[in-house]
Amino acid sequence: MNPAILALEDGTVFEGRAFGALTERSGEVVFNTSLTGYQEIFTDPSYSGQIVVLTYPQIGNYGSNDEDMESVKPYIEGLAVRDFSPMVSNWRSDQAADAFLKLHNIPIIDSIDTRKLVRHLRTRGVMRGVLSSISTDVKGLIEKARNIPSMAGLDLATRVSTASSYPWTSPVEPCSPSERLRGVATAQGAYHVVAFDFGIKRNILRRLVSSGCRVTVVPAGTSAAEVLALRPDGVFLSNGPGDPEPLAAQAAEVQKLFGKTPIFGICLGHQILGLAMGGKTYKLKFGHRGGNHPVLNKQTNKVEITAQNHGFAVDPDSISEHVAEITHVNLNDMTVEGLRHKSEPIFCVQYHPEAAPGPHDSLYLFDDFTRLMQEHKK
């Protein structure tokens, strides 16, 4: 086996074995605590610019397949795991995970102490790093890590967004019985939703269609006038990578849609809505990434177990109580997880209710969105 090195900007180094592509990639080193769904993590555009550490010890054992793709390709810069399995055993597998990442020039390091690495990132905060399977120059790799641009202030959403508009018509498959019953609405496309692509995941689009929506996906830079020309029943703001603060122009365009149509935002879309409501955002120490984050729904007083992937949050003190109310909070650190406008049909959540991968506690939000559009149509 070829050696691989993960070097962090603070001089910490992890040495292991190389899988995937024999290459060198750099980015912000973050960790995800999900127990399954690694291919969905690989292909989530929100991980653009990041090397992902998976805390579950064995990765790769069920291979990869076309159905679990959340976008057209993997977006992670590199992968760090405890035990990468070169053997695949699953009836759904089309390709080994090793071959899948190698095809897209993504390096993997395994046989490292991922618990030690995650504890280090929790204590010090996420940091820049270089993953190399072609160089053993430790000092040189550390220096490279220190020269990587910081994620703070970085606009990655416009880089991963679609270049042109396109329709999306595929529902969730296989559908649950309740989703099959809603198939009539799905086929008719009862509500036309214009979805901003800041790095959108396919399962979000599938969930919208399964809720009875006809979806048009538009680039991140689409103006409010262009959106309204499409005559939407509602507007959706997607997840995506990078810092929300550089997206001031997008937030300004979204603000122009207030009062014109219902709006639903997820993750980066939540942060953009926070900016459009006059708020501010800030960078978290190590972010929230995983499928088991407890969130309190303050409207129902129920706890939802949620899937999350974000490194920034909306500052609660920056949101005027006359403009919006905080509807959801993270029970681990009390950060803002949901907002609802006081006078307009606008709401958003920081987490991922489409849950690919993750629990389905929050799927009701898609039905809330369709109800808002139905009421707005009257």
Strand order in the sheet with 324-330: 166-168, 213-218, 191-196, 234-237, 263-266, 346-349, 336-341, 324-330, 281-297, 302-314
- Between the alpha carbon of residue 244 and those of residues 47, 163, 180, the distances in Å are 14, 20, 37
Mode of pairing for the β-strands spanning 83-84 and 234-237: unpaired
- Name residue, tokens 């910490």: 12
The answer to whether residues 194 and 167 touch, using CB atoms and an 8 Å cutoff, is no
The yes-or-no answer on residue 213 being catalytic is no
The yes-or-no answer on residue 352 being catalytic is yes
Rounded to the nearest 10 degrees, the angle between the axes of helix 202-210 and helix 364-377 is 50
269 membership: H or E segment, kind and range = helix 268-276
- Paired with 283 in beta bridges are 312
The yes-or-no answer on residue 348 being catalytic is no
Indicate the DSSP class of residue 244: S
Which of 120, 267, 293, 304 is catalytic? The answer is 267
- Name residue, tokens 């992968």: 79
C-alpha closest to that of 150 among 126, 115, 181, 175: 126
Indicate the DSSP class of residue 176: P
Q: Please, what sign has the CA dihedral across residues 269, 271, 272, 278?
A: positive
- In terms of phi and psi (left: phi > 0; alpha: psi -120 to 50; beta: otherwise), the region of 127 is beta
C-alpha 326/C-alpha 329 separation (Å) is 8
- Paired with 339 in beta bridges are 326, 348
What is the secondary structure of 180-216 as a DSSP string?
HHTHHHHHHT-EEEEEE-SS--HHHHHHHHHTTEEEE
156 membership: H or E segment, kind and range = none
The distance in angstroms from the start CA to the end CA of the chain is 65
C-alpha closest to that of 362 among 272, 281, 264: 264
Mode of pairing for the β-strands spanning 302-314 and 281-297: antiparallel
- Active-site annotation, residues: 267, 352, 354
